[in-house]
A and B are shown apart, each in its own frame.
Chain A
Amino acid sequence: MAEYSAFQVFKNGLTGNTGWKQAWRKPEPKQQYDVVIIGGGGHGLATAYYLAVNHGITNVAICEKGWLGSGNIGRNTTIVRSNYLLNGNTPFYEHSMKLWENLSHELNYNVMFSQRGIINLCHTPAQLDDTARRGNSMRLMGVDARMLTPRDLARRVPGLDLSASARFPVLGGLVQPRAGTARHDAVAWGYARAADRRGVDILENCEVTGFLRDGDKVTGVATSRGEIRARKIAVCVAGSTSHMMKLAGIEKLPIESHVLQAFVSEALKPFLDTVVTFGGGHLYISQSDKGGLVFGGDIDGYNSYAQHGNLPVVEEVMSETVALFPAAAKVRLLRSWGGIMDMSMDGTPIITTGPLTGMYLNCGWCYGGFKATPASGWCFAHTIARDEPHELSAAFTLDRFHRGYVIDEKGQGATPWKH
Chain B
Amino acid sequence: MATDRKTEDAAPLAAASEPLMLVLDGFEGPLDMLLALGREQKVDLTRISILQLADQYLAFVTEARKVRLELAADYLVMAAWLAYLKSRLLLPAQEDDEPSGEDMAAALAFQLQRLEAMKEAAAKLFARPLLGQDVFARGAPEDINIRRKSVYEVTLYDLLRAYGDHRKRQEGGVLHIAPIRLYSMEDAVRRLSDLLGRMPDWTVLSSFLPGEEGGPLLTRSAMAAHFAATLELAKAGRVELRQDGAFAPLYVRRAQRAADE
Partners in one complex: no
Interface residues of chain A, those whose CB is within 8 Å of chain B, are none
